[in-house]
């Protein structure tokens, strides 16, 4: 048994596979309150009604779409970020159970805490013109991320699954928590086991990622820079590794290593997928993020993690 909620076997699995599925990590009452908060944000007259599941199928009609970085509604995606630093979301995702797990992995007393009523993700707009909202610019939870079900799921099989990728902003431990039950075909978070060990050494920096600034007079190149080694390796990962779909019940959480390949998937169930996302980091991330990949990729993790043999 480990020195915290995780067993040595669970830590070994996390080191080897890059993820861990945990049961009953979120308070059901707070999950319901978060869902209440989500549904209150729809525009007046929306055809999507909480009490009528038949209206939950996507996509959003053009007159209900929003590209606002704090509240995105487009296609089958519904991402509410404006509430990410509100006390409710922080109490939900940064709870005692989750902190105990994160501290066991990252080090006692080393967690960077979210800021209540701080800046939510999307506060500064997009990372570059036409790009995504930068999740590095947040002082709280990423937000509530939903995927609307596909009405004609058979004809759309595979069309709404994103290719595997890694996140470019600096953090160490990701978390996706389910606010409602999510079936295997219900838009579950998808990841590629073991890919973190293969992709980690292909980056220039061990947690951060280099970017090309945007210039009006030089518009052809902007955003995240991938090394040739990364592009070749993630292509091999997609070809030779069977992904895992992290479905489960309300309150379940998947935690995952920052360099693990992952993606969103299309929702081919009859239920709206609703989840909360959060990134855990150490308080010294600003120093260690600038280092190149280390011979020991677990250098900045807890002593227990470093000393656990993953076989």
Q: Is residue 120 part of a domain?
A: yes
CATH number at residue 156: 2.60.120.620
Asked which of 170-179, 203-212, 231-240, 298-307 is least confident by mean pLDDT, the reply is 203-212
- pLDDT averaged over every residue in the chain: 93
User: What does each C-alpha distance from 28 to 84, 96, 177, 178 come to in angstroms?
Assistant: 18, 14, 11, 10
Q: Report if residue 2 sits inside a domain.
A: no
Q: What is the tens place of the pLDDT at every residue in 49-87?
A: 999 999 999 999 999 999 999 999 999 999 999 999 999
Is 1 within a domain?
Answer: no
Average pLDDT over residues 92-112: 97
pLDDT tens-digit map of 215-270: 889 888 888 889 999 999 999 999 999 999 999 999 999 999 999 999 999 999 99
Angle between helices 8-17 and 96-106 (to 10 degrees): 70
Give the pLDDT band of residue 311 (cuts 50, 70, 90). low
Q: What range does the domain containing 195 cover?
A: 8-307
Record the pTM: 0.94
With respect to residue 121, please indicate whether it lies within any of the assigned structural domains: yes
| pLDDT per position as a tens digit, 123-152 | 888 877 777 877 666 789 999 999 999 987
Q: Are 261 and 192 in contact (CB under 8 A)?
A: yes
Number of domains in the chain: 1
How far is it, in rounded angstroms, from Cα 133 to Cα 167?
12
Q: Is 301 within the bounds of a domain?
A: yes
102 lies in some domain: yes
User: Residue 222 has what pLDDT?
Assistant: 83
């Amino acid at each position: 048994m480990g020195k915290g909620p995780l067993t040595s076997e669970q830590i070994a699995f996390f080191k080897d596979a890059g993820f861990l599925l945990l049961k009953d990590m979120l308070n059901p009452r707070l999950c319901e309150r978060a869902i209440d908060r989500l549904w209150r944000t729809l525009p007046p007259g929306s055809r999507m009604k909480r009490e009528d599941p038949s209206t939950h199928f996507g996509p959003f009609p053009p007159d209900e779409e929003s590209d606002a970085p704090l509240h995105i509604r487009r296609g089958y995606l519904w991402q509410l970020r404006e509430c990410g630093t509100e006390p409710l979301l922080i109490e939900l995702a940064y709870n005692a159970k989750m902190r105990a797990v994160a501290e066991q992995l990252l080090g006692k007393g080393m967690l960077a805490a979210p800021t209540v009523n701080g800046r939510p993700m999307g506060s500064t707009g997009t990372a570059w013109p036409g790009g995504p909202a930068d999740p590095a610019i947040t002082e709280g939870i990423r937000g509530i991320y939903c995927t609307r079900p596909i009405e004609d799921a058979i004809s759309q099989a595979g069309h709404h699954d994103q290719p595997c990728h890694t996140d470019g902003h600096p953090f160490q431990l990701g978390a996706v928590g389910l606010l409602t039950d999510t079936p295997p075909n219900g838009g579950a978070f998808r990841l590629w086991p073991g890919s973190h060990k293969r992709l980690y050494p292909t980056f220039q920096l061990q947690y951060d990622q280099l970017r090309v600034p945007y210039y009006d007079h030089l518009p052809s190149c902007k955003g995240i820079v991938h090394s040739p080694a990364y592009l070749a390796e993630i292509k091999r990962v997609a070809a030779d590794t069977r992904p895992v779909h992290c479905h489960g019940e309300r309150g379940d959480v998947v935690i995952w290593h920052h360099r693990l390949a992952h993606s969103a998937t299309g929702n081919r169930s009859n239920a709206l997928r609703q989840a909360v996302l959060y990134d855990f980091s150490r308080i010294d991330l600003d120093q260690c993020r600038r280092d190149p990949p280390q011979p020991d990729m677990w250098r900045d993790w807890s002593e227990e993690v470093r000393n656990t043999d993953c076989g």
